[in-house]
Structure formats: C-alpha cells, structure tokens
Amino acid sequence: MHEVARQVHPDARVAYVDHDDVVVARARAILADTPGLAAVHADLRSPRDLLTRPDLREVIDLDRPVAVLLIAVAHYLTDDDRPGEAIHAISERVAPGSYIAISHVTADDITADAEKAARAACAGASVPVQPRSRAEVARLLGGLEVVPPGITDIRDWDLSRYAARPRGPVLFWGGAARVPGPPPDTASPGVTR
C-alpha cells in the first residue's frame, strides 16, 4: 500500500494494522528502515485502542484527513463483534474529509449450495468469515458520505482491469465514503490500512 500511496504523494505516511503477532513482526522487519511507515499490533474490534496506539500516532496524524482502508477485513468480524460500531468509532476519531474504504465478501450472487460449500471451507479457519449483503455492507458505512460508484462489485472500481473479462457472480462488495464536515487545512496526507 505504501508504494502505491507514494506514487501519488511521495511523503505519504502509512500504518499497517493487524492483530496477528507474526504478521506484525514480519511487517516491522520489512518496514524498519523506511521512514513514515509503521506496523501496528491492534484489533479492529477495539478501535479506540487501535487509534491511541503510540506507534500509529507517531506516523498518522488523526487531526488531518486520512484514508482508512478496510480491505478484506470486516468480513472477519461477526455481528457480535459489531463491525458497524467499530467503523463508526473510527469515523468519529479521524478528521473530517477523511475517507474510509471497504471491501467485503458476499454471498448475494451465489447459489445456496455454493454458499454452504464456501462456509464449510472456511469453517476450519482460525478466523471465521461472515459474508454480508450489499445492504449490510452499506450499513457498515452508515452516517458517512458514500462516493461514486457507491457500494458495488469491486470490479467496478477498476474497469480497465476487468472490462474485457466475462462477469461472474459478485463475490466482493466495495465502496468508499467520506467523513462529513469541512476538512482542516492540510498539506500532507496519511494512510491507515
């Protein structure tokens, strides 16, 4: 992510967040010599803790607009984990003008048998996957200003890559939303993933 962000803005600051100790240790080793990057050990289910981590705050200034990328993350949270509340807590803490992007697995377009097979395949995983409908994914971004093309098949976000390919069922919904309010006057963006 930091390589892509820095193609657009060379001094972009990026924090990678994961709850897995091994993933964080490996990321810290890889990022150790690169200023403006951090690997943070935290959990989306505890957003207030995540946003107060000193290693995150050293890299990301939450008083300035940031992009929070919840790419293939929220479907690992069950309804009991209250993913909408976690995303709302983040949107309340980041500066107005920030963006939150999400991609989320769905079973909307597959047969009941295919969904059952997918759930069985994931049943033995250390972290269960909870598919959500398009409406449920939209509710996760409730209160935010969803930007075009809205909550849609993730393939719609990169038409150049998928336009020539035959379309199958929608497997992931994706969308981005802006945290309302006027952004503060800033010059340097931050990216949190």
Instruction: Give the integer Cα–Cα distance in Å for 11 and 34.
Output: 11
- What is the pLDDT at residue 144? 96
Cβ proximity of 90 and 47 under 8 Å: yes
- Token pair for residue 122? 């994931």
Structural domain boundaries, residue 169: 2-192
CATH number where 110 lies: 3.40.50.150
Across the chain, which has 193 residues, the per-10-residue mean pLDDT values are: 91 94 94 93 95 95 96 93 96 96 92 78 75 96 93 82 71 94 62 55
- What is the pLDDT at residue 8? 92
- What is the pLDDT at residue 119? 73
**pTM given for the model:** 0.85
- What is the pLDDT at residue 113? 82
Q: How many domains does the chain have?
A: 1
The gap between the terminal CA atoms of the chain, to the nearest Å, is: 8
